[in-house]
A and B are shown apart, each in its own frame.
Chain A
Amino acid sequence: MSVLVQPLPEVNPLQDSLRFARRVPPCAIVIFGASGDLSKRKLLPSLYRLFYERRISQNFAVIGSSRTPMSDEQFREKMRESVSRFLEDAPFDEDVWKSFAQCLFYVAGDLSEDASYDRLKTKLDEVEKSHQTAGNVVFYLSTQPSYYAEAIKKLGAHQLQKGNGWRRVIIEKPFGHDLASARKLNEDIHTVLDESDVYRIDHYLGKETVQNILAFRFGNGIFEPLWNRRYVDNVQITAAESIGVEGRGAYYQEAGALRDMIQNHLSQVMATVAMEPPTVFDAVNVRDERAKLLRAVRVVKPDDVAKYAVAGQYGPANVGGQDLPGFRQEPSVDPNAQTDTYAAVTFFIDNWRWADVPFYIRTGKRMPKRVTDIAIQFNAPPLGLFSQETKGGLREARPNLLVLRIQPEEGISLRFLSKSPGSGMRVRPVSMDFNYGSSFGERTPTAYETLLVDAMAGDATLYTRQDMVDASWQIVQPILDVWGNSKFDFPNYAAGTWGPKESDEMLARQGHVWRVP
């Protein structure tokens, strides 16, 4: 399929890359599901913020679409409320809003009705002229996942996938419910769109600190030589939430922690931590390396699932004087639900760099605190010369630990041993910290701001590609299959704890323990 691409002028003599934000071409953004939560809380506030900071083109328009009948003016007023309410770390400026509001339009319609797409086409033609958007369009599917395939087919049927400029489609997660449905969705999409026009969003990859992993690994000379099986003992990736399902019980009951977090966000984080250096830092090469890494992850055999994966579900507990319900007591949740609110998996990456190094990934709800980090535990020195503890008559050494903190206190810390002041050789672990906020105090863009600008600029580096999605489904599918046919004795961990004991046992079998983040 060929798409007419209108690139930015190659030379704009006024550009100043040292001081100006990245150049973004003119375009219109069509948001399907515009009256939904994601639009209100994330997309419109992010677009307003980008507009306020002049990070998007002056020739820009947003066309919201959903079933609710609304005029342009009503849509603007509704979005004004949302933006002023959900704007983070930024002022709401009336003058700027007035200009921004002039770029907002609305087309009411049902995604399954042909007439909706005709109206959308008419509106796109109008804004192309009035807002000089050069025929470039980003379609953002912020709808229920079950509508993705149909919406894309209809875009194709109404010739909206091509026009005077480029056309791109952003798709929110979840991308499929399992491997088979993900593959089917990909097939449906590719009947209409080139893979290069598909932007599958994984907002974890848009987080500054996840991007910083690449800068940390490949921008410095001292870490990469240690980044392999010769020096690394194990890697632990933790994504813990202190909250429960917060009113999303019905959705979560169907998804579960493995599907909701590990299949997408955390497997992509693992790929970022473990991938080989790309030859060039661009979308093709970075995504090639991520995909290659995911394909190298050993697919666990059904008989081994119990050995390498642990499911958990929180039960009720009193935390800090407050009674917290168990998952089965949450609203809209089946009292006998077999849903995993906690999942821990041991992955092995069968490549030259990582053979036999366990990558432990865990995620859960109602854990003691909200934290996402990656801990690289290095091999201990061969002899614990300075250690006080003994184990089996041997001195035990404390290994170095490099922690990449994604949230909430973004940064990097390295743990090493240091001599305590005074006579005698007493040592204790100390931490060398880099705090993202202290070195770059400026406001960091939200993941959605980053990803929206990237899509408009045609940079898919931080978006997932078909083969990456496929590979990440492949590594979790056997676990999902086995768990789907099992009956667990849930709940097996209390709210406010670090998960079930089986998870500790899984690491103990490899001679490791979970660290406390």
Chain B
Amino acid sequence: MSSTIIFPAQPEQILKGLGKLWTSLGEEEKHQGKPTVLRACAMTLIVATDEPDAGFAASQTISELMHEHPARGIVLAVSPDAENDLQARVLAQCWKPFGKAQQICCEQIEITAKPGSWQNAAPTLAGLTAADLPVIFWCRHQGAIKKDAAAADQAGLEAIAKLATKVIVDTAGMASPDGIALLTKWRGEGKVIADLEWTRLTPWREPLAHIFDDAKRENTFAHFDSLEIEHTEEKPPMQALYMAGWLSAPYKAKVTFRRASGYGPGIQRVSFRSEEESIEFERTSADCVTLWSSAGRERKYSFGRPSLTTLMTEELAVAGYDPAFNLALDRACELLA
């Protein structure tokens, strides 16, 4: 269910559109005489995108995220085809859990902007955030985060980021120095930041960490002073730097990066060695990672490339400052230097 185009995209008009939407959803309840719709909202999720699909993919991802993180979703799509400078449309994302009688609905606002106008969207967005709830800004506007972004785009991005309690970017595909520069700049301004390239590492990091939960390995982590990371890209991508940063942060192990062929982008293999033991963690097929230890253990893990929805689901569950990420980022900066 969605509204007609709202122009100008004034917050008051948009909120009125949302009000009408809920009234019409409530009509159904009146007829049925029992609650049929449950309104759910735990945050405001703003997504800015300059993808050529005019926000379609972003909207799709938001609708998938709503199931686990119900939110007032706001998609700010920059499109040369936009009819007006800034125009809006409101809709309800509803789903009915299997076997349940009641629909669960979240609000979504789609704002379309011309390329020269999106920079002025912040005041509109400021009036649309849900009261007293966190505001998460997921920046998919690659043009605004690239190294040589136009000043106006950077300013627009800054203005939106100021509204947010947390800013999420994805540095996949960015040159590592550019990614590091972007993140350290924002962090220096006091923002809580997250990078989906770091989130992609969780399926690697968790089993690696488990190795040192074994009482027999107590305090042996520091013995592993040699660390090698293989990646499929020509230069170490952000993901490899994060992995190296995370593993070497506690004890400053010697890190080597190596290019290798393998399955898909990013890390292919992580190995660390001590005098007593070597441990390898390697992608052995497109959907499997195998852990080997020279002590004779082997274990396979399922490893599908996580979707954006999976990554965002994890990231939205981390509300505030992420110490492990920040430590890894610090160390990645040092390694890059």
Chain A interface residues (CB < 8 Å from chain B): 6-9, 12-16, 18-21, 23-26, 52, 54, 57-59, 93, 95-96, 98-99, 132, 134, 408-409, 431, 433, 435, 437-442
In this assembly, does B219 line the interface, its C-beta being within 8 Å of a C-beta of chain A? yes
Whether B215 lies near A134 (C-beta < 8 A) is yes
Give Cα distance in the complex from A95 to B285, angstroms.
11
Closest to A59 in B: B214
Closest to B66 in A: A441
The residues of A that contact B215 with a CB separation of less than 8 Å are 6-9, 25-26, 134
Whether A54 lies near B207 (C-beta < 8 A) is yes
Whether B210 lies near A8 (C-beta < 8 A) is no
Whether B297 lies near A132 (C-beta < 8 A) is yes
Contact A16/B324 with A93-B302, A435-B38, A438-B38 known, Cβ cut-off 8 Å: yes
Whether B214 lies near A26 (C-beta < 8 A) is yes
Main SS of chain A's interface residues? loop
Whether A14 lies near B209 (C-beta < 8 A) is yes
| Further 4 A-B residue pairs, CB within 8 A, beyond A9-B218, A95-B287, A132-B214 | A9-B217, A14-B209, A16-B209, A58-B207
Q: Mark B200-231, 1 if CB is under 8 A from A, else 0.
A: 00100111111111111111010000000000
Q: Mark B67-83, 1 if CB is under 8 A from A, else 0.
A: 11110000000000000
Whether A20 lies near B206 (C-beta < 8 A) is yes
Chain B interface residues (CB < 8 Å from chain A): 35, 38, 40, 42, 67-70, 97, 99-100, 102, 104, 202, 205-219, 221, 246-247, 249-251, 287-288, 291, 295, 297-302, 313-314, 318, 322-324
Contact A96/B208 with A16-B324, A25-B215 known, Cβ cut-off 8 Å: no
- Min CB distance A363 to B, Å, is 23
Query: Which of A14, A15, A52, A433 contacts B38 (CB under 8 A)?
Result: A433
Whether B209 lies near A134 (C-beta < 8 A) is no
- Min CB distance B314 to A, Å, is 7
Whether B216 lies near A20 (C-beta < 8 A) is no
Pair count A-B, CB < 8 A: 123
Listed A/B pairs (21) with beta-carbon separation below 8 Å: A9-B212, A12-B209, A13-B250, A13-B251, A19-B205, A20-B202, A24-B213, A26-B214, A57-B214, A58-B207, A58-B210, A96-B302, A99-B301, A132-B216, A408-B99, A431-B35, A437-B100, A438-B38, A438-B97, A439-B40, A441-B70
Whether A58 lies near B219 (C-beta < 8 A) is no
Whether B210 lies near A54 (C-beta < 8 A) is yes
Whether B291 lies near A58 (C-beta < 8 A) is yes
Whether A58 lies near B211 (C-beta < 8 A) is yes
The residues of B that contact A431 with a CB separation of less than 8 Å are 35
Query: Which of A14, A98, A409 contacts B212 (CB under 8 A)?
Result: A14
Whether B302 lies near A52 (C-beta < 8 A) is yes
Whether B318 lies near A54 (C-beta < 8 A) is no
Whether A134 lies near B216 (C-beta < 8 A) is yes
Give Cα distance in the complex from A15 to B35, angstroms.
44
Closest to A96 in B: B302
Give Cα distance in the complex from A431 to B300, angstroms.
49
Whether B300 lies near A96 (C-beta < 8 A) is yes
- Min CB distance A426 to B, Å, is 15
Whether B213 lies near A96 (C-beta < 8 A) is no
- Min CB distance A171 to B, Å, is 26
The residues of A that contact B301 with a CB separation of less than 8 Å are 54, 95-96, 99
Query: Which of A7, A18, A435, A442 contacts B68 (CB under 8 A)?
Result: A442
Give Cα distance in the complex from A435 to B103, angstroms.
11
Whether B214 lies near A134 (C-beta < 8 A) is yes
Query: Which of A13, A59, A95 contacts B300 (CB under 8 A)?
Result: A95
Give Cα distance in the complex from A442 to B214, angstroms.
29
Whether B297 lies near A58 (C-beta < 8 A) is yes
Closest to A91 in B: B302
The residues of A that contact B218 with a CB separation of less than 8 Å are 9
The residues of A that contact B211 with a CB separation of less than 8 Å are 58
Closest to B69 in A: A441
The residues of A that contact B288 with a CB separation of less than 8 Å are 95
Give Cα distance in the complex from A26 to B300, angstroms.
17
Give Cα distance in the complex from A357 to B313, angstroms.
44
Give Cα distance in the complex from A442 to B69, angstroms.
9
Closest to A433 in B: B38
Give Cα distance in the complex from A198 to B237, angstroms.
50
Closest to A430 in B: B35
Give Cα distance in the complex from A26 to B297, angstroms.
14
Query: Which of B102, B221, B247, B314 contacts A435 (CB under 8 A)?
Result: B102
Give Cα distance in the complex from A441 to B207, angstroms.
25
The residues of B that contact A439 with a CB separation of less than 8 Å are 40, 42, 70
Closest to B287 in A: A95
- Min CB distance A27 to B, Å, is 11
- Min CB distance A242 to B, Å, is 14
- Min CB distance A431 to B, Å, is 6
The residues of A that contact B38 with a CB separation of less than 8 Å are 433, 435, 438
Give Cα distance in the complex from A132 to B296, angstroms.
11
Closest to B296 in A: A130
- Min CB distance A310 to B, Å, is 30
Give Cα distance in the complex from A18 to B324, angstroms.
9
Give Cα distance in the complex from A441 to B70, angstroms.
9
Closest to A409 in B: B100
The residues of A that contact B100 with a CB separation of less than 8 Å are 409, 437
- Min CB distance B313 to A, Å, is 7
Whether A441 lies near B206 (C-beta < 8 A) is no
Whether A13 lies near B70 (C-beta < 8 A) is no
Give Cα distance in the complex from A93 to B300, angstroms.
11
Whether B246 lies near A14 (C-beta < 8 A) is yes
Query: Which of A8, A19, A408 contacts B213 (CB under 8 A)?
Result: A8
The residues of B that contact A14 with a CB separation of less than 8 Å are 205, 208-209, 212, 221, 246-247, 250
Query: Which of B217, B221, B313 contacts A13 (CB under 8 A)?
Result: B221
Whether A98 lies near B213 (C-beta < 8 A) is no
The residues of A that contact B207 with a CB separation of less than 8 Å are 54, 58
- Min CB distance B4 to A, Å, is 25
Whether B67 lies near A441 (C-beta < 8 A) is yes
Give Cα distance in the complex from A26 to B213, angstroms.
8
Among B211, B249, B291, B313, residue most surrounded by chain A Cβ atoms (within 10 Å): B211
